[in-house]
Chain A
Amino acid sequence: DQQVKQNSPSLSVQEGRISILNCDYTNSMFDYFLWYKKYPAEGPTFLISISSIKDKNEDGRFTVFLNKSAKHLSLHIVPSQPGDSAVYFCAASAQGGSEKLVFGKGTKLTVNP
């Protein structure tokens, strides 16, 4: 049973436009959510996180939105740049982030020049 789902395996956008990556979760105990970015041949690197007490967190071009009632979160990248092309993983954790991370399968983002 997949507790964290990223239903779009891939996404392609034009440079300068907005990229929206989606993630759904099923476990109501999750209260801390993270996005990781992964380039080929490298490990995932932390991008941005959000606690369940918030519905939005912003860091530069990256914004994460959390809809607890829908058990849905999304990552917005504005404006998208070719260097953003990577695989993005959504992860969730319980106990304020102190429990183990549960990952989605990832979405491959391609930003076209």
Chain B
Amino acid sequence: GAVVSQHPSRVICKSGTSVKIECRSLDFQATTMFWYRQFPKKSLMLMATSNEGSKATYEQGVEKDKFLINHASLTLSTLTVTSAHPEDSSFYICSARRLVEDYGYTFGSGTRLTVV
């Protein structure tokens, strides 16, 4: 149980276009989801916290107009990278906070974004 599906797993887009990444909790409800950007080898940067039915909370230095987050339901959050540039190429990972007894976190499978 407690599965988070992230889609797509890989995407290549042209510079200047927008890309949407979906994060779904398949068998549980998640009022809170988190979006991370992975940097080489170890660094995992929290970009924003997504709360169902309200605006996302962005971390300092993350452009909210560039990284649009929508959490329209208890099982779905989306991250849209707008006007993508090559420097946006990275892995993006979501996680969802489980509303079950352990209140733990489940991570998605990640999305590799390549902007050419």
Contacts and interface: CB of A to CB of B under 8 A. Distances in A.
Contacts, number: 54
Nearest to B10: A100
A93 B93 CA distance: 13
Contacts of A32: 41
| Interface bracket on B | 20 to 34
A98 B90 CA distance: 10
Please tell me the size bucket of the interface on A.
20 to 34
A contact face: mostly helix, strand, loop, or mixed: strand
B42 A105 contact: no
Contact of B38 (A87, A89, A101, A105): A101
Contact of B102 (A49, A100, A103, A108): A108
B114 interface: no
Interface of B: 2, 34, 36, 38, 40-46, 91, 93, 95, 102, 104-107, 109-110, 112
Interface of A: 9-10, 32, 34, 36, 38, 42-44, 46, 49, 87, 89, 93, 97-98, 100-103, 105-106, 108
